[in-house]
A and B are shown apart, each in its own frame.
Chain A
Amino acid sequence: MIVFPSALKKLNVLGMNARNIDYISRYNDRRLYPLVDDKLQTKKLIEKHGLKAPELFGFIEFQAQVKKIKEIIPEGAGFVIKPAQGSGGKGILVILKQEDGYFIKQNGDKINEHNLRRHISNILSGLYSLSGKDDVALVEKLIEFDDAFEGFSFEGVPDIRVIVYRGYPVMAMMRLSTSASDGKANLHQGAVGVGLNISNGKALSAVQFDAPITHHPDTGKELLELEISQWDKVLRLASGSFDMTDLGYLGADIVLDKQNGPMLLELNARPGLAIQIANKTGLEARLRLVDAIAGQHKNIDERLEFSYLNFGATDA
């Protein structure tokens, strides 16, 4: 099934090439990439700017430190190990809890300390890093996701992706993991994407594998009932990450923690385009609208006001 380019143009769909040439290369200074590509740097930056993020228990830089993992991880509790320079969710190991010296993964699999060390060792050797170079393993607090999302996600933390253009949140979606995505919130691995109304954080439409769906494939939950609480905090966090990084075109991944509310999980300097399918709306018109008024709003409140007003409906 193929459509004419003019049909996509009419919907203001942003293509990969246009994203790269007109937005990423124009507004994302290469110099700034390490700030988001290296999650350790992002973490430090977030701390400096006082944004909320999952607590960092520690990090492992050298193979010799791998055996000290026991000293970093919390006794008996869950945690997350991720490569600082991983991409596409690769190498992220989520441990829900510990039992008799075993570590229980999201899907219920048990692994022992030996396996855990091997995973960290792999991360350090650069197996999951973008360029294959040596990496650092981060150990973070496990997110306890908000009960409000019960049934919306299958084994895994649902997160909210917000596209922030020159400081204005222009489009958002929630990513829900499924059995197909193996608990990961990546759309290309089979996670469900739910387009969110920028005005109120309510679901607009949903897709899986780029095709529209109405119910969660595993839990059967009606996806359009989804509504994000503390929506203003979510957008504020997203918009604030622009002030923090100076990246003009970025994707902010935000999770809702049961106790701490919205937390910035990570940032992406090359956010994907599937968000358009989830929203059934093209990005380009919204980006152009921001270009037209860029510089008129001085602070985050004014920017958010503009986004609320202009990017609320399905049609920008």
Chain B
Amino acid sequence: MTSKYQIYIFSLLLILLSVGVMTYKVEVLGFPLFAGEEKSIWNIEAKVEFTGHGKNAFVSLALPEAQNGMFVYNENASSANYGYVVAEEDTYLRGEWSKRKVEGKQTLYYSIDVILDEDFKPESVKEYKRNYSIEASSLVLQATEAIMQDAYDHSSDDISMAARLISEFNKANPTQAVEMLKHRYIKSPRDLRDVIAALLEDKKVRLRRIGALELIDGQKNVFLKPMLEVFYKEKWQLFDINNGKISKPKNLFIWQRGAVSLLDAEGVTGSEVRFSVTENVVSARTGALLKGSDEKVSLMDYSLFVLPNESQNAFKHLLLIPIGALVVVLLRVLIGLKTSGTFMPVLLAMAFVQTELVPGVSMFLIVVSIGLIVRSYLSDLNLLLVARISAVLIVVVGIMAMLAVLAYKLGFTDIITITFFPMIILAWTIERMSIIWEENGPKEVFVQGGGSLMVAIIAYFAMTNSVMQFWTYNFPEILLSVLALIILVGRYSGYRLSELHRFAPMVRKK
């Protein structure tokens, strides 16, 4: 009795473990539960261009920080012949290229791959340290006294003041003071942002400047979109300089934050940085894998996905064997089907997976039939068993080669997959069948061969089920559940379905 409970507990633990790992992979690592789910990978490329004049060049580009909802899994700086380092400056990262005696037009690229992921939250709310002096000129401040007074009067806190100010600048008919400022200082969206920021900072509003990119496919050579963030009540509030207060859109990638300059260049002229955004659609699984491997999740570090592609493909098939085994266990223990050789049907099913069902079954039947005919001749030669099986094996190879050539000539290219059949299994099947034929007659051959073939076909359907294939490959831990199930079935001491029929005459007589 205790051993029975042990088995229940053990199986339960196995199932919990496998479901637990699966849940972790789906919920945390973002593995898709079903095939076909897609994810976007955004490639953001910064193109730095400048012209050299024979002097030593030093170019420094502000690099994006880790941010909520944006998982950066790959960064790449391609910079032929340039020395490249990533330097940290006041907690800000910068990519720095340098080279001696640069001549002519130069282009440097820095690109990152980003996956949108709501669960990714590396940011902590930190108050932005102001480490620069306000540069706003007194002239601007004088001219805008009225504007600020208005904004101050019509607001209750920093947030509403910033909102008021932005709306003043975006009015169709702005006040005269605004009109004057615009005319004089604002040539680009970036100027507008800087003016607004300067005005607010003068009122002791804690803010930071932002250069962002909207992740929309096909953007080429665009500039960062200037935006603002205002710190209030331990939170940063984002402002669009055209629309006022906004909550951060999911697809907004913040490249530059704070007052650090986006691009610094020494020894060159005409430096400029432009951005391109490209969307690549990949399966959600690939996305999860990229994320998992980059986050150094140890579960992924020691998963099948670290193997070379070729081995992974081999495992894709190997991982299906337990499913086939489960089918055989269920059919034998619960249904009571007889098969010749315990796992011969699984191996056959594996071959069918490679060959497709109909060509596989027909090839199996053809090879076994021809083999039986040849075997009946060999039996007259009175050979030792090992020699006879080996002879059958060679005949099987011959039949397979012949079929492949014949089929190819006739245009049935499917048949060439015949090589996937395990030859030893075929040879043994032929040998066993021929013995059964001699001893129990052809009827028994059809009964036993048919039984094995049927189990193989059922196993084939279980193993080619796309959900099964997807699960065993992406969630190998599901095999623990299969194991638990097999252990539980292994303790099933009830009647088999076939016994309900077999012992039926006893009930009728009573």
Assess whether A214 is interfacial by the CB under 8 Å rule. Answer: no
With both chains docked as a complex, state the minimum distance between the C-beta of A314 and any C-beta of chain B, in angstroms.
Answer: 10
The answer, yes or no, to whether B491 is at the interface (CB within 8 Å) is: yes
Q: What's the interface size class on A, roughly?
A: 35 or more
Task: Verify if A229 is at the interface (C-beta below 8 Å from B).
Answer: no
Residues of B within 8 A of A4 (CB): 500
A223, B18: Cα distance in complex, Å? 58
Contact A5 to B494, CB < 8 A, known contacts A90-B439, A125-B386: yes
* A207 CB-CB contact with B under 8 Å: yes
A1-36 vs B, CB cutoff 8 Å, 1 = contact: the mask equals 111110110010101111011100000000000000
Question: Is B500's CB under 8 angstroms from A8's CB?
Answer: yes
Stretch at the interface among B41-49, B173-181, B343-351, B501-509: B501-509
Q: Among A70-78, A114-122, A140-148, A171-179, which stretch is in contact with chain B?
A: A114-122
Contact (A212, B505) CB under 8 Å given A8-B499, A122-B385: yes
Residues of B within 8 A of A90 (CB): 439
Q: How far is the CA of A152 from the CA of B386 in the complex (A)?
A: 41
Report if A63 contacts B (CB, 8 A).
yes
- Is the Cβ of A189 less than 8 Å from the Cβ of B494? no
- Is B493 touching A22 in the complex (CB atoms < 8 A)? yes
Interface size on B, residues (CB 8 A): 28
Query: Which residues from 333 to 384 on chain B have a C-beta closer than 8 Å to any C-beta of chain A?
Result: 333, 336, 382, 384
Between A and B, 10 residue pairs with Cβ closer than 8 Å are A1-B501, A3-B500, A5-B494, A5-B495, A5-B500, A11-B510, A15-B493, A18-B494, A121-B384, A125-B385
Q: Is the CB of B505 within 8 A of A15?
A: no
B190 sits at the interface (CB 8 A): no
Taken together as a complex, chains A and B put the C-alpha atoms of A211 and B502 apart, in Å, by 9
What is the count of residue pairs linking A and B with beta-carbon distances less than 8 angstroms? 89
Contacts of B495 in A (CB 8 A): 5, 8, 13, 15, 17-18
Q: Contact at B505–A277, with CB atoms within 8 Å?
A: yes
Residues of A within 8 A of B (CB): 1-5, 7-8, 11, 13, 15-18, 20-22, 63, 90, 114, 117-118, 121-122, 125-127, 182, 189, 205, 207, 210-212, 273, 276-277, 280-282
CB pair B509–A280 under 8 Å, yes or no, is yes
Is residue B435 contacting chain A, with contact meaning CB distance below 8 A? yes
Distance, CA A2 to CA B497, complexed state (A): 8
A11 touches B492 (CB 8 A): no
Tell me if A17 and B493 are in contact (CB < 8 A). yes
Other CB < 8 Å A-B pairs besides A15-B499, A277-B506, 12 of them?
A: A1-B501, A5-B494, A5-B500, A8-B506, A11-B510, A16-B336, A17-B333, A114-B382, A127-B435, A276-B503, A277-B502, A281-B506
- Chain B residues with Cβ below 8 Å from A212 are 505, 509
B78 interface residue (CB < 8 Å to A): no
Query: Which residues of A lie under 8 Å from residue B491 when comparing CB positions?
Result: 21
Enumerate chain B residues within 8 angstroms of A16, measured Cβ to Cβ.
336, 496, 499
Question: Closest residue of chain B to A19, judged by CB?
Answer: B493
Distance in Å from the Cβ of A160 to the closest Cβ of chain B? 21
Q: A8-B495, A90-B439 are in contact. Are A1 and B510 (CB under 8 A)?
A: no
Closest 7 CB pairs of A and B: A125-B385, A18-B493, A15-B495, A21-B493, A118-B382, A3-B504, A3-B507
